Amino acid sequence: MKKLKGIITLTIIFLLVLGGTFVIPTKAAGLTSMSITGTGITAGASATGASLTPTVNFTITNAVAPADTVVIALNGMVNSVAAIAQADVTAGGTCSGSVTMTTITISTNNPVLSMTGLTCTVGGGTITVAAGRVVSLATGGNYSIVITTAADYGAFLYYVGNTNQVKVTATVTPTLSFAIRNTADSAEQATVGGLKTCVLGVLTTAAVGTCSYRLKVSTNAASGYTVSFASDTRLSNGTYLFTDAAIGGTGTTITAGTEGYGAVLTPGASSSGAAVTRNAANFGSTAGTAYRITQIGGPFAVYNVAGTNAPSGTDTANTALVAHQVAISAATPTGNYTHTVTYTASAVF
């Protein structure tokens, strides 16, 4: 509470709120809380140039008599009419009576309402300005609005535009890496002349020849990635093409003594838990828990992951295992057999 000589000008800073009330308690004198509601009023950041219907809400601990002057400076606003009539300003809550305008600034920024004729008992009072009489300023800012009665005063900020906002930005750069690793994912797959190798060895009719490696893809692409496969030819000694195994077959296995060749894909999981899907259309159906890869040409999609994947260290769970298998018969022609498989990984960011 603070008593002033003469007419005490009390300015109330009021924060505009659309469809609700944003209350800021104050410590000054007997004015214990202030807020503002109404059309065009938004908490924290009201739009510039918006048509307003403001209601000033305040709680006082000292009564206001009709002879007292109540002053409200509508900082952050501008008149949208030539004059605000006395009938455009109404009292409510614990305040009653007909508003008499003693002074008012017309057609300028930050109009000031200086009013008498009000009776306000202790508690929550309101002052409302009719629709279409004021608009928020076209220039954004943090406007200090003050209200004064003969005994009370207080202040808070009315925010117009975005001058009280901080836009925080950050960028995560896209990542995509691909490596062909050994079966244990403890090192890169062995190379000869820079080309990764998978050695099936010297074949006999008594055993199935095998070699394997892992496909290790890491990416932060939210939509995941696809691994594709292309082969320059079937397994061949230059003139003879090996018999493919399990093209389109279900549960087909390669058996020692029966000629056949293929590669079994076990795609594993993803570190993010995203779904991993094998492509059965190009590479046949299930053989146990895997698919046989025997298609020539390409590239053909081998498997896809629906989200991010970040294999960490030695990781045999979130990497795909490819195991080449071959068997010969007594009639399989002699020779050195080979073909080149090319893998590509592509992500969708």
User: pLDDT (tens digit, 9 = 90+) per residue, 263-290?
Assistant: 888 889 999 999 998 876 655 444 445 5
Rg of the chain's alpha carbons, rounded to an integer? 40
pTM above 0.95, yes or no: no
Classify residue 283 by its DSSP letter.
Answer: H
Q: How far apart are CA 293 and CA 140, in angstroms?
A: 65
CA angle 139, 145, 150 (to 5 degrees): 155
Written as one letter, the residue type at 280 is A
**CA-wise closest residue to 158 among 143, 137, 168:** 143
Classify residue 274 by its DSSP letter.
Answer: -
pLDDT category, 305, cuts 50, 70, 90?
very high
Q: How far apart are CA 300 and CA 315, in angstroms?
A: 25
Q: Where are the domains of the chain?
A: 10-160, 176-347
Q: What are the two backbone dihedrals, phi and then psi, of residue 269, each rounded to the nearest 5 degrees?
A: -115, -170
Q: What is the pLDDT of residues 211-244, one digit of tens each?
A: 999 999 999 999 999 999 888 888 999 999 988 7
Say if domain 10-160 classifies as CATH 2.60.40.
yes
Sequence-ordered alpha helix ranges (H) in the chain: 280-283
